[in-house]
Chain A
Amino acid sequence: MTKTLNNKAWFLVLPVFAIVAFSAVLPLLTVVNYSVQDTFGNNQFFWNGVAWFQELLDPSKELGGRFFEALWRNLLFSAIILMIQVPLGIAVALAMPREGWTVALCLVLMALPLLIPWNVVGTIWQVFARGDIGLLGWAVNSLGIDYNYTGHSLDAWITIVVMDVWHWTSLVALLCYAGLKSIPDAYYQAARIDGASRWAVFRTIQLPKMRRVLLIAVLLRFMDSFMIYTEPFVLTGGGPGNATTFLSIDLVKLALGQFDLGKAAAMSLVYNLIILSVCWVFYTIMNNVDAERARVEA
C-alpha cells in the first residue's frame, strides 16, 4: 500500500508563520539591515559592512569602550543581586510557615511586590529615597550619613540594588517555598531519627531537593537583571554620570537619543546573542538535571 502524501496541511500553519514573521522575524531583519549600514538622515543609507561590529567589539574605540563598560556594569549588577537574592530567598522560604492561616497571608504579602508595575516600583523608590521628602533618604540623612543617590555613584548603586532586592526576592522565595513543600515529611522524620543537625538537614535534604527550582530562579533573575531597564531609568536615568547606565539604557540612548541606528543595531544584536547563549547554557544544565532524575527514577 502506498502512502498518500498530502502537503495541504502546511496551509494550516501559514497564519502562525505570518504572525511570527511580522512580529519577530521582520523586525529582527530590519535590525540586521541597520547594523550593516550607515545613515546621515533623510532615510539615505550607505553600505557599511561589519564596521559597526568591529567598532563595538574593540574596547579602544569610543563605541566599544562604552559597550564594554555597560556590559561589565550589567554583569556586576546581575552578580550582586544574584548573590543577595538567592541566599535571601532561600532564607525567607525556610522561615515561612508550613501550615495554618499564616501561609496564605505570607504568600499574598510576598507576591505584592511582584504585582507592581516596574515603572511604579521605580517611582516609589525615587520618592522613598529622596533626601528632602523621602522617608528612607530623610531618615538615613538624619542619622548623619551623607546619602544622595542622584549625586553619588555608590549611593545610586545601593539604591538600585536594594530596590531590585525588594522587588524580586519574593520570586526566588516563592519558587524555593514550592520546592520545600514538595519534600515528604518522612525525610525530616528520618533526619531527626538520624540525629541530623539543622544545618545537616538543609545541606542533605532541603538544598538537593531545591536544586531544580533554584536553577530556574537563577535563570529568571539573571535574565531579568541583565535586561533591566525601567526601574533604573525611572530612578536614576542611568546617572549620576554613567554610573548606572546598564546595557539596555545605553542601547536606548544610542538608538533613540543619538539616532545612531547602525551602532545601536549592532549593539542590540550582540546583546541578544549574549542573552541567547546564557539561555542555552541554562537550558543544557537543566536538561542534564532532568536526564539524571529520569535515570534515577527508571
Chain B
Amino acid sequence: MCHLAGGELEQIQFLLGHASVETTERYLGCKQKLSHAVNDNLGRHLTGLLTPSGLLSNLVVGGSTSEWPVIRPGSETSWSCDASRCIEIQVKTSKALSSTMQPRRSVSYTVIQEKLKARKVIVLDGPMNSELVRRGIRWCKHGLVTDTAAVEQLHREYLNAGADVVRTNTFQLNRLTYLNVFRNPEHQALIGAPGLRELVPQLLKTAMRLIRQARIKAMKSDTVAIAGMLSPLQHCFRPDLAPAEKAARREHGFMARIFAEEKADFLIAESMNTIREAKGALAAGRAAGLPVWVSFVLGPERELLSGEPLAQALKAMEKGGAEAVLVSNAPPEDISSTLPRLKSIARIPYGGCAHIGKFSPPSWKFDFFPRFEETEMWPPERYASEARKWIAGGSTIVGGDCGTGPEHIAAVSAAASTGEAAGGGH
C-alpha cells in the first residue's frame, strides 16, 4: 500500500530491509513506477494525509505501528491516540456525506439501475474463491500476489457467461484476517512478514485492477458494473464474533474508500451475518459515496445466521439506504423457500445466490478457506432451474455462491433472459 499510495520503491526497500530494489519488487509483486515519482503528485499526497489510508501510509514511512485496529467480538475498534485526530476528521466527513449526498452513480451502475426499474433480471457472477481453489490455486492472499492471471481469467469467464455484475476477489479479505492470528499488533510486527500491515489495501487495489482489466478486455465497461465486495470482518459463519456497528463502520469504511478511489461502481456488503455489522458496512459504503447492496447469510432456520429475523434486517437496510438486498450462503432449496417471504415486504430490489455442495474447511486454517465438496450434485442446469423459481417469485437479482462456476452463471443467464421473455413472473 505504501507503494500504491505513492511511496517510492527505494524507500519501501529501505523500510523492509531488502538488499535490492529487485527484491522489493518481487515482494510487492510490482514494478517501479519511474514516471510517477511520489513528490510529483502533490495533490494526491495531500488527500492521503486526510484519510486513514493515507495516514497509514504516512505512518509506515515514520515506522510507527500504533494506529492498527483491534477488534474483538462485539467490541468497538480501539485505536491508539496517534490516529485519533485523523479518525475524527474521517467521522465528521462521513456524517456530512451520508446525510446530505446521494451516492455517485456511474454509467454502468445506472444501466443496472434502469434494468432493475424495468424489473429486468440482473445476473451476478459466481464465486472467485471456491472456484480458484477448485482450479488448484494455492489459497494464499486470495491469489492476488501469486496468481493474478488466473484471477483475471476467471473474471473474464464470468463476464463471458453473461454476468451483469462482477464482484471483486476480496471475500473475507480485511486487515483483521492478518491480525487475528497474532497476539496483538506488536506481535505481528515482531514475527510477521514485513509489510503485513499494508498488505490488505494493496491487495484490494490489485483486486480492483484485475477486475477492471477483465471488464475492459471483455469490452463491457459501459454495460457491466463492478461491485467492490465487502464481507464480514470476522469469519462469515461466526456471528458471535461480529464487531459492533461503529467498529464495523470504521473498518469497512477504510475498505470502501479504497474501492471508491479505485472506481468501483458500487459496493456489495456480502454475507453479512448480523444486522449490526450490515448497518455499519452499509453506512460506510454510503459515506464513501457509493451505492450499496447487502447480502445476508441464511442460517439453517432461514433467518440471518445470527438468528435475527430476515424481515427486520431488510427493514434496517432499507432505512439505511441499501439499494438491493440478497439472501445467500445457503443451499439452493433454502434460498428458494426464503425468497418468497421477501415478495410482499421488500420495497427495494431483492434476490439471492446459493452455495452448492458441502463446506469442507481444512483443519488448521484460521480464516475462511473456500472449499466446497460434492458440488456435482448441482450441475448448471439444475442450479438454473432453481434460479428460475427465484425469478418467477419476483427476484430480480440472481447469481452464484461458493461451489458454482462460470457454467452455472451461463445457465442462470439463459434462464434470466427466458424468464424475462415469459414476463418475468410479475
On whether the two chains bind one another, the answer is no
- Which B residues are within 8 Å of any A CB, using their own CB? none
- Which A residues are within 8 Å of any B CB, using their own CB? none
